[in-house]
Structure 1
């Protein structure tokens, strides 16, 4: 088994993200937005809703934050990702176990089992790792697109995150192997999370006319 390439020091993290055309700001803004969405839920929401709401809002803000950089969205097969401009790789979002964002020897897994679309993406990553040189022609086809996972984990004191490239998924449906990990660190949960500006869309123009 190939050892994971780990980026955990500040300069390593910055360089690894830059290689993907990113900085840490869009990623942490997405994570913060997901946290705020989850924290807006109450006991009157269905028990499964807070997790779904957090995931969905994280995906949405990640897409909004990367759109000015030329990224696009893909929902092919209900597998929701943000896709970099040339279509060579994409980012999906998932919750992870308590090892998320921790340095080796700790290695994370996804918190919940994943479906066929995620398994296909991981298997594609494993195949691409055998042929690391880029193809001569740029293609946006999902069949030759690497998929990174923005993995997050929250406990009582902090939220930890990493942007990692999976290459193995177990028989139980949990991603359990990583070709590369960009360990983004931790955000203390001290009540000082700054809300990301909400997007309410354009102001509607309502034409009110007296009925004849």
Structure 2
């Protein structure tokens, strides 16, 4: 593991332990995920890899470690709608994925963080379902079950949360700060980016020793983010 790691408060994360506990989760799960993803970014690539390899390794590790921890420790199960990886609780009422956020990630108040990339079809559907779950309950009209599709509505009541992360390397101080939050998106705004959340659980930031990073590639005036697929 990376040495000399410091925990720092991120905005106002008071009560985050209790909020996570209400979902059957613990802070240790997310602390370990973020530490492992930072370690993979630094140790999982060589000088022969592509320049975007550290960011890709970071993303793959966040997905893998999130799913592995909750599957092996809590009995949750992987779910991959349109190849968008989630981990889902036994009741199929809570699903969690990973998402990159901007500099507002992990900080309280408004504006809310925006996703670094457009949401895509699967996340847009998840946001729409989150919105529908907020509506007043109405007794559904009875429909004769379709035996050919027994699992079609299995995830109809699932709230989709995302572990948002934002990584910042301060050259002046020689520190890398990773801020994060577990949040439920409820709007896809301009440019197709998630920009509003109905609930946010702010997690403590983690500081790491600095390392050279190739996570953003610049070509002329065009900046291409290669952090997450």
TM-score, structure 2 normalization: 0.72
Change (3 A) 1:8 1:129: farther
Higher RCO (CA < 8 A, seq sep 6+): 2
Matched, 1:86 2:105: no
| Partners of 1:165 and 1:51 in 2: CA distance | 24
Ranges of 4+ aligned residues in structure 1 off by more than 4 Å: none
TM-score, structure 1 normalization: 0.78
- What is the DSSP-based 3-state SS (H/G/I as helix, E as strand, rest coil) of the residue aligned with 2:78? strand
Structure 2: state its 5+ residue gaps.
Answer: 1-10, 141-150, 170-174, 211-229
Structure 1: state its 5+ residue gaps.
Answer: 1-6, 192-212
Q: Which has the higher strand share?
A: 2
| Partners of 2:86 and 2:157 in 1: CA distance | 15
Q: Which residue of 2 aligns with 1:70?
A: 75
Deviations 1:146-194 (A, max 9, x none): 1001000111131100000100012412100100000002001137xxx
User: How many residues of Structure 1 are paired with residues of Structure 2 in the alignment?
Assistant: 180
Matched, 1:96 2:101: yes
Report matched runs for 1:12-23 at 5 Å. Answer: 12-23=15-26
1:132 deviates by 7.2
Q: Which residue of 2 aligns with 1:51?
A: 55
1:34 deviates by 1.2
Q: Which residue of 2 aligns with 1:206?
A: none
Pairwise CA RMSD: 2.2
1:143 to 156, 161, 170: 156
